[in-house]
Structure 1
Amino acid sequence: MSRLQAGRRHSVRFSLNGKPCTGEAEPRLLLTDFLRHQLAATGTHVGCEHGVCGACTVSIDGKPARACLTLAVQIDGCELRTVESIAPSPDRLGILQSAFKRNHALQCGFCTAGILMSLDCFLRAHPRPDEESIRDLLCGHLCRCTGYTPIVRAAIEAAAELVDHGKEKTDA
């Protein structure tokens, strides 16, 4: 018999944005719902709930993942980062966020959290990306109002700034 029994809540221990965190989740509870409703981490947006739009993208152990396709119990023992981790402090934007602001790379902002998380993971692994690789990454995200050109511009600018600051492998 599976260690996860339907209808029963299970303890989930993990790191959320660098801090130890514990919660309880039923086996079928989606990570999006767990984050938003139980942990009040509302920066992770719920869009299509099918893994297509990318609005719910988070980082699990350094890799981008769709929170709407991940069960909360699956993050037990993992390092989870959400868009709330991108800024160095509540009153300061991170390099990637600042580049988005300067380049008008967002309008309604609904898709922005997921795009920022994908780009954060991508720039950590690829500190000197070209436009084509960024556009390829963005294929997994739907943006209905900004268009992708300012997002690509912001990503290239942020990548250059991160390299200039010697932060290739640190906070984007």
Structure 2
Amino acid sequence: MKKLFTCLCAMIALMYFNAGKASAQATASANASATIVTPISITKVTDMNFGNVAVSATAGSVILAPAGTRTTSGGVTLPAVNGTVTAAVFTVNGEGAYTYAITLPSTALTITNGAVSMTVTAFTSTPSATGTLAAGTQTLSVGATLNVAASQAAGLYTSATPFNVTVNYN
């Protein structure tokens, strides 16, 4: 009887400890979600064109601002007949009110007239470095510096490949 009582006490104690463990456990649930934003995109509207440039026996440069205005240095002048002068213009589209980073070319772009070349360097933009997609769109204008050699040969100079402007969400 004593053994039966000891066994019964052990079983009750075991049930008590297991019951305590079961009541200490709790469970909660959560849902998962994600929002896919509108992909950012960039589309060229207008190519860059430095317009008509007059040269001398001294090297110089033409700085085309993102606003489409030009200034010169060295032996370069701007004739009265401007020709077509335009900064490169792009439209950036994406999620409204998001900001984005702008990456401009970091290496020189070569333009040639078939036999002779010049370089385009020091790309700048408006907005500069970062833009904001108010209502999901923004115009991005890009200017640069045209480096003209002394007595540069006359002719129409163009790039064999376009330059790239990259935009990424911040």
Q: What's the TM-score bracket when you normalise by the shorter of the two chains?
A: under 0.3
Q: Per residue, is there more helix in 1 or in 2?
A: 1
Relative to the length of structure 1, the TM-score reads 0.22
